[in-house]
């Protein structure tokens, strides 16, 4: 565990200043990384310790782990060390404890919890699942406040070097493959948003008929479906070129750029559903919210402030329609009853009927929804 030294750091002002600039960028929402290298005894640990102390003072969540000097050590050992230090310290953050508790796979990194540690030759699928749990935990923590992850004494054994790789070609090939996967993943996200928009347009009645029968809404849905279909065809053709060995990195990058932009546009359109549903229920109750916002929240699915502002988690778009309806009706009902008394629950039941089913769904799937975190698209 990194601990503050009693003496003042000397002779490293330039390096420390550059690292603090990276902290400022991270605090502004930009993912950053730094590699500190040098011979033994030049003060790398002292520099990193000072950085961690400064980061903690600025409100960062600091996770620090040390790599073992063992040839057969598991690759997750520094992460396990970081989690153990952070969760067993004198004052562990509740957000970190909640993030770990919601991901049972992380117990494998914490043998003190009774789970067996992962072996060095963990199978590929299990590695991906464990990596996904770690990534989801870090993303959840970063949605609350910036995170500094420190890995000390990182070593690269000879057997970890890619065979027949003499430069940056192999890492760039991995990057190209990742972009190809993102291009497909963006299509899936857009399809989820489109399905949610269609499921809303069919039952929502306005002026005596479902809004899906109005040409304006039909045009929006048709345009969204057209863009999704174009993105699907783009990915299919790109896959054919990859099978033929003729796809270029530039083509993959353009496909990823196009599909991510398309999915973001459709998601913005789908997010308007939350506003529309909130206004619909508010009209039924004869109330009016001051403002409606959609945010990236870590714990609440929705909230109603004393100033009559409604706020919802964007992840509700990924939930079934009956769950989204319940959360929106729940918060709108607070505009009439700012409590959870009997009259409040009667209002909610009048709006959406049974409330136990959506509550049970959220309790069972909360951790799954929180695995999705907003991504910064790096072109």
- 7 occurs within a structural domain: no
DSSP string covering 243-262, please?
HHT---HHHHHHHHHHHHHH
Q: What is the pLDDT of residue 7?
A: 54
Between CA 154 and CA 161, with CA 159 as vertex, the angle to 5 degrees is 75
Number of domains composing the chain: 2
pTM here is 0.46
Q: In this structure, are 92 and 180 located in the same domain?
A: no
Q: In this structure, are 70 and 175 located in the same domain?
A: no
Q: Among residues 100, 122, 156, which one ends one of the domains?
A: 156
DSSP string covering 107-118, please?
GGG-GGGTPPPP
CA 205 to each of CA 73, 190, 200, 237, 329: distance values in angstroms, whole numbers, following the listed order:
61, 25, 10, 40, 16
Q: In this structure, are 215 and 328 located in the same domain?
A: yes
- The pLDDT tens digits of the residues spanning 252-275 come to 999 999 988 888 887 777 667 667
Domain span at 68: 13-156
Q: In this structure, are 121 and 219 located in the same domain?
A: no
Q: What are phi and psi of 309, to 5 degrees?
A: -95, 130
Mean pLDDT of the chain: 79
- 329 occurs within a structural domain: yes
Q: In this structure, are 237 and 150 located in the same domain?
A: no
Contact of 206 with 276, CB cutoff 8 Å: no
Q: In this structure, are 207 and 273 located in the same domain?
A: yes
CB count, 10 Å around CB of 3? 9
Q: Among residues 107, 124, 156, which one ends one of the domains?
A: 156
- 43 occurs within a structural domain: yes
Q: In this structure, are 308 and 351 located in the same domain?
A: yes
- The pLDDT tens digits of the residues spanning 223-258 come to 888 999 999 999 999 999 988 989 898 999 999 999
Computed on alpha carbons and rounded to an integer, the radius of gyration of the chain in Å comes to 25
Question: Longest Cα pair distance anywhere in the chain, in angstroms?
Answer: 78
The pLDDT profile of the chain, 379 residues, written as one tens digit per residue, is 454 444 565 567 788 888 999 888 888 878 888 888 777 777 788 888 888 888 988 888 888 888 765 555 556 777 888 888 787 766 677 888 887 877 777 777 776 655 555 555 555 556 667 777 787 788 888 878 888 988 887 776 676 676 766 666 666 677 888 888 888 888 887 887 787 778 777 776 667 787 778 787 788 888 888 999 999 999 999 999 988 989 898 999 999 999 888 888 877 776 676 677 788 888 889 999 998 887 777 668 888 888 899 988 877 877 787 888 899 999 999 999 989 999 999 999 999 888 999 999 888 887 777 665 444 332 2
Residue whose tokens read 């809404």: 217
Q: In this structure, are 150 and 179 located in the same domain?
A: no
Element (H, E) at 230: helix 215-244
Q: What are phi and psi of 151, to 5 degrees?
A: -115, 110
Output the six-digit token pair for 70.
Answer: 């063992």
Q: In this structure, are 59 and 175 located in the same domain?
A: no
Q: In this structure, are 282 and 175 located in the same domain?
A: yes
Contact of 277 with 331, CB cutoff 8 Å: no
Torsion angle in degrees (nearest 10) through CA of 201, 261, 301, 206? -20
| C-alpha span between 319 and 316 (Å, rounded) | 5
């Amino acid at each position: 565990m990194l601990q503050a030294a009693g003496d003042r750091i000397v002779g490293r002002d330039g390096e420390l200043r550059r690292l603090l600039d990276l902290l400022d960028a991270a605090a502004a929402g930009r993912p950053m990384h730094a590699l500190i290298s040098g011979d033994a005894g030049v003060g790398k640990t002292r520099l990193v310790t000072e950085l961690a102390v400064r980061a903690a003072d600025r409100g960062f969540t600091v996770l620090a782990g040390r790599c073992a000097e063992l040839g057969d050590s598991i690759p997750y050992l520094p992460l396990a060390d970081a989690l153990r230090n952070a969760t067993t310290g004198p004052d562990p953050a509740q957000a970190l404890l909640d993030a770990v508790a919601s991901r049972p796979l992380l117990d494998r990194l914490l043998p003190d919890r009774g789970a067996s540690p992962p072996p060095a030759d963990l199978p590929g699928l299990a590695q991906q699942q464990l990596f996904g749990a770690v990534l989801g935990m870090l993303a959840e923590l970063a949605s609350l406040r910036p995170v500094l992850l420190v890995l000390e004494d990182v070593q690269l054994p000879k057997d970890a070097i890619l065979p027949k790789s003499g430069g940056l070609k192999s890492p760039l090939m991995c990057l190209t493959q990742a972009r190809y996967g993102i291009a497909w993943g963006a299509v899936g996200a857009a399809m989820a948003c489109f399905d949610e928009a269609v499921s809303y347009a069919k039952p929502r009645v306005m002026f005596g008929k479902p809004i899906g029968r109005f040409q304006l809404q039909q045009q929006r849905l048709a345009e969204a479906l057209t863009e999704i279909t174009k993105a699907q065809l783009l990915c299919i053709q790109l896959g054919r070129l990859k099978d033929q060995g003729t796809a270029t990195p530039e083509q993959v990058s353009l496909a990823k750029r196009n599909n991510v932009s398309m999915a973001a546009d459709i998601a913005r359109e789908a997010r308007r559903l939350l506003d529309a549903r909130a206004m619909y229920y508010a009209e039924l109750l004869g109330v009016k919210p001051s403002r409606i916002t959609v945010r990236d929240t870590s714990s609440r699915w929705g909230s109603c402030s004393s100033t009559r502002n409604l706020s919802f988690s964007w992840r509700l778009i990924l939930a079934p329609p009956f769950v989204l309806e319940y959360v929106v009706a729940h918060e709108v009902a607070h505009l009439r009853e700012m409590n959870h008394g009997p009259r409040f629950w009667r209002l909610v039941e009048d709006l959406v009927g049974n409330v136990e089913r959506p509550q049970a769904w959220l309790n069972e799937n909360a951790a799954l929804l929180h695995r999705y975190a907003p991504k910064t698209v790096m072109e």
